[in-house]
Amino acid sequence: MKTIMIIPAGLYQLPAIIKAKGLGLRVVTADYLRDNPGHKQAHVSEVISIVDQNSLLDLARREKVDGIFTIASDIAVKSVGYIAREMGLVESMPYTNIDKICIKHQFRELQRQSGLPFPAFVPARTFAEFKRGLNEVGLPAVVKPSDSSGSKGLFVIDQIYPDEQLAAIYHQSLSFSRNKILCIEQLLNGIHVGGSALVTGGSVVFYQLTNKYLTQLPLMIPTGHSIPSALEAGTQAGIMAAIQQVVNLLDIRVGALDFDILVTDEDIVIIEMSPRLGGNCIPKIIEYGTGLDLIETAIMLAMGKQPDIRAHKALPVGVRILGCSKAGVVSGFKNLQELKEKYKENLIELVLDISVGSRVSRFTNGSFRIGHIICKASSLKELDSLLDKIEKELQITVGGRADSTSN
């Protein structure tokens, strides 16, 4: 039996862990959180931080892993690359290039040097540099940790604040950064696009763009994705070309890509890109909509296999990520089985990560999600309407009052 190591072992990695087991692979997990759900599904699990590369390598060697994999975790990408290099496993890209795509200000520098469109940006290592960066890029500006993902530590500053408030934003954003560098960026206007791609032999052989939905400013947290893309064919081709250009620049040879794009009136701007599959159920809606199991395909690529990558034209499928507009204790919600029966023709998944009595946080980053809804429909318009209806009818109450990110 072949062995794959999957890191970390959280909720977003669970589908990959279950899929790998279904493929007949022995699964080893590592994560610093002992109670994370992926550990319970693994054949072997260890409580190790995913940034502790030497301890992870010791575990991988001890368990004689044949492949290493991550999904929905930028933090894990570098450790995956390190273990792959040291053990001669499948490497998606040269280890020395990983920071150029996963560290935000380094990716912006790559874009600048390569002639790719990019927002004005300034890396900030001190509060003085933070204030100077805001002045240089202008308002509105986006502040984010250079080495974080999932919208953790992201703030939009759209007005002049006194130093006391700016210092609070600076320190809160910095608390999500391991390298203690913030990236201050110009806030661009345009159409937000998400998506996934697969690379083999250094070429993008599959990509699917998503229509991306966000909370209102100043948070900009993803609340959903849908396919097929509503963009014109020429714009989609331009996005594909931009992604391939980065693949060429960084010598990405094989594996999955997750990306966020902004289509402005003048340019196609890659906001972020990472050599792994994304979270927020993007692989699931692509599988339901196109028939291509992205997680299975990416696992096979990580194991050195050559899967048959085929997909049909995308049908309308979308996901709504659920969150709360305030912190508190969940006091109730609608019977899920009743909703599943009522919408059985269109509802694919209705999942809540909470129960009555659960303490929830305000939906200020992706890790504070409380569940998701996945639906299919005959059109994108019908799809949006269905997701709105089901979310409303869930009637999730926090502290005795109805609550959702859509309110």
For residue 79, what pLDDT is reported? 98
Rounded distance between C-alpha atoms, residue 55 and residue 221, angstroms:
33
Mean predicted confidence (pLDDT) in 224-245: 98
Domains of the chain, by residue range, sit at 3-89, 120-186, 189-302, 317-402
Q: End-to-end distance of the chain based on CA atoms, in angstroms?
A: 50
How far apart CA 102 and CA 148 sit, in angstroms, is 9
Domains 189-302 and 317-402 alike in fold = yes
pLDDT at site 148: 87
Q: For the segment 102-133, what is each residue's pLDDT rounded down to a tens digit?
A: 999 999 999 999 999 999 999 999 999 999 99
The confidence score (pLDDT) of residue 149 equals 81
pLDDT digits (tens, 9 = 90+) for 360-391: 999 988 889 999 999 999 999 999 999 999 99
Helix, strand, coil % in the chain, rounded to nearest 5: 35, 25, 40
Summarised one tens digit per residue, pLDDT across range 247-280 is 999 999 999 999 999 999 999 999 999 999 999 9
SS3 6: strand
Mean pLDDT score across all residues of the chain: 96
Among positive and negative, which fits the CA dihedral 126, 132, 133, 139? positive
Vertex 184 angle, CA 95 and 207, to 5°: 50
Look at residue 374 in the predicted model and tell me its pLDDT: 98
Residue 400 pLDDT greater than 80, yes or no: no
Topology of the domain covering 317-402? D-amino Acid Aminotransferase; Chain A, domain 1 (3.30.470)
Rounded distance between C-alpha atoms, residue 136 and residue 130, angstroms: 10
- Domain 189-302: CATH superfamily is ATP-grasp fold, B domain (3.30.470.20)
Q: What percent of the chain has pLDDT over 90?
A: 94
Q: What is the rounded CA–CA span in Å between residue 118 and residue 336?
A: 44
Q: Is the pLDDT of residue 393 over 50?
A: yes
pLDDT computed for residue 284 by the predictor: 97
What are the pLDDT digits (tens) for 287-342?
999 999 999 999 999 999 999 999 999 999 999 999 998 999 999 999 999 999 99
Q: What is the pLDDT of residues 190-213, one digit of tens each?
A: 999 999 999 999 999 999 999 999
Residue range 152-174, pLDDT digits in tens: 899 999 999 999 999 999 999 99
CA dist 407 to 223, 329, 347, Å?
13, 18, 22
State how beta strands 3-6 and 26-30 pair: parallel
Q: What is the mean pLDDT of residues 233-246?
A: 98
pLDDT at 401: 65
Contacts of 52 (CB under 8 A, 6+ apart): 79
223, 320 Cβ separation under 8 angstroms: yes
The CATH class, in words, for 120-186 is alpha beta
Domain 3-89: assigned CATH number = 3.40.50.20
Vertex 197: Cα angle to 195 and 198 (nearest 5): 160
Query: Which of the two residues, 309 and 403, has the higher pLDDT score?
Result: 309
Residues 209-223, mean pLDDT to the nearest whole number: 92
d(CA 231, CA 183): 29
Reduced to 3 states (helix: H, G, I; strand: E, B; else coil), residue 229 is: coil
In terms of pLDDT, which residue wins out, 406 or 220?
Answer: 220
Rounded Cα distance between 45 and 59, Å, is 10
Contact 326, 403 (CB under 8 A): yes
In terms of pLDDT, which residue wins out, 370 or 406?
A: 370
Answer yes or no: is pLDDT of 407 > 50: no
